[in-house]
């Protein structure tokens, strides 16, 4: 017969399930399992919160619904954290992936505008500068580059001689 253990939670702790609880004190969140502290973090530290909630589900057997209910967050938040934890492990603290540096720097834009002013086509300028023609086209549409208007040939009207009556 399994031995019963009493829910031993510190005063002011919020119960997650029969064995897990957490308490907020002085801006710190502390997690307890069977009354023993297992983890703590600043109350504004989202990465640590996502990590510990995923660990509570994966290693401690807490239900996602119980965790979501205890913290008042949507259940999809817990599911996403668990998915990330299983895929990346401790990847919650990795720096965010951002775009690389801009291809069209001020110098490249100046060179491109010079070529466009000479009458070269956008794809030709892109090839010459080593950038994608799509990138150059987007810059033209956004107004960062301008294509000079094509010179129009004057329309000459030929007049017909008056009809003989």
Greater confidence (160 vs 110) lies with: 110
pLDDT at 64 over 90: yes
Same domain, 30 and 57: yes
In terms of Cα–Cα distance, which of 73, 137, 71 is closest to 104? Answer: 137
Same domain, 24 and 83: yes
10 neighbors 23 (Cβ within 8 angstroms): yes
Total tally of structural domains belonging to the chain: 2
Phi-psi region of 27 (alpha: psi -120 to 50; beta: other; left: phi over 0): left
Q: Percentage of the chain surpassing pLDDT 70?
A: 90
Q: Identify whether 158 is part of a domain.
A: no
- Domain span at residue 38 reads 14-93
Say which residues have a Cβ less than 8 Å from residue 127's Cβ, sequence separation at least 6: 133
Instruction: Quote the pLDDT of residue 159.
Output: 72
The string of pLDDT tens digits covering residues 91-139 is 888 888 877 668 888 899 999 999 999 989 999 999 999 999 999 999 9
Q: Identify whether 100 is part of a domain.
A: no
Rounded CA separation 10/23 (Å)? 8
pTM above threshold 0.75: no
Same domain, 111 and 41: no
Same domain, 41 and 76: yes
Instruction: Quote the pLDDT of residue 8.
Output: 64
Ranges 34-38, 77-81, 149-153: which has the least confidence: 149-153
pLDDT at 90 over 90: no
What confidence tier does 5 reach under pLDDT thresholds 50, 70, 90? low
pLDDT at 7 over 70: no
Q: Identify whether 157 is part of a domain.
A: no
**E strand map for the chain:** 14-15, 20-25, 28-33, 36-42
Same domain, 78 and 127: no
Q: Identify whether 4 is part of a domain.
A: no
* Through-space distance between the first and last CA atoms of the chain, rounded to whole angstroms: 125
Q: Identify whether 6 is part of a domain.
A: no
Instruction: Quote the pLDDT of residue 100.
Output: 66
């Amino acid at each position: 017969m399994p031995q019963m253990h009493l829910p031993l939670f510190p005063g002011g702790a919020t119960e997650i399930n029969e064995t897990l609880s957490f308490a907020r004190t002085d801006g710190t969140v502390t997690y307890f399992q069977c009354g023993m502290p297992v983890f703590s973090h600043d109350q504004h530290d989202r990465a640590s919160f996502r990590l510990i909630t995923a660990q509570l589900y994966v290693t401690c057997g807490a239900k996602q619904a119980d965790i979501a209910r205890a913290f008042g967050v949507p259940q999809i938040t817990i599911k996403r954290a668990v998915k990330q934890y299983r895929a990346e492990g401790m990847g919650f603290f990795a720096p965010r992936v951002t775009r690389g540096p801009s291809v069209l720097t001020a110098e490249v834009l100046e060179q491109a505008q010079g070529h466009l002013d000479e009458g070269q086509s956008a794809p030709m300028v892109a090839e010459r500068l080593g950038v994608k023609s799509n990138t150059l086209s987007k810059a033209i549409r956004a107004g960062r580059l301008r294509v000079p208007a094509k010179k129009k040939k004057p329309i000459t009207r030929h007049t017909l001689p008056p009809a003989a009556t």
